[in-house]
Amino acid sequence: MGQLILIRHGETEWSRSGQHTGRTDIPLTAAGEAAAAVLVPALADYHVVAAFTSPASRAWRTAELAGLADAKVDPDLQEWDYGGYEGLTSEQISLDQPGWLLWRDGVIPGDSQHPGETVDQVGARADAVLGRARPLLADGDVVLVSHGHLLRILTARWLLLDPAEGRCFQLSTGTISTLGTEHDEPVMTSWNLRPPGSW
């Protein structure tokens, strides 16, 4: 059985500043593009049979630069919709909501482009992605190029944990992580690895 290869997209201006970036389409920085390009040799050791990417340009551009130009767009790989907190940092949100924690307190509704999601709604999307990816693992490795919070929640669901347990898995931009099995049980096989030569 193959592994799930998780790639968080490269750096953007908002990821660098800590702004919540859900559905806003922010391009990669030059450093983000460079980090994506060094994923090519890192992926050469895997037997990739399928690749999927979020529709956000920061994700599909990462896939393209990583040598996965044929990755299929999967809308369920979009980042958590942060609603009215889109574009804000945790520090800014905490000014109005002292002690606010995304994983516990969630988001407030935004405009029609950012209605917001609960952690369980994001978990349901992650479950849908896993449901489509699992059968493909019989033939080799499957790459998912997506976003920090979505991939953390997806990892929790792979490990049979509640979606909010994704809070335990910090994930940096431009990294590779892998999920697999041991004795037919789901496990994490690597996490948050920066390939040699990445920024």
Q: Report the catalytic residues.
A: 9, 79
Q: How far apart are CA 189 and CA 191, in angstroms?
A: 7
- Residue 40, number of CB atoms within 10 A of its CB: 13
> Which letter does DSSP use for residue 80 in this model?
P
Q: Residue 116: CA atoms inside 13 Å, Cβ hemisphere, count?
A: 13
Pairwise CA distance, residues 144 & 136, whole Å: 12
The residues facing 72 across adjacent strands are 52
Task: Show the tokens assigned to 94.
Answer: 């905490």
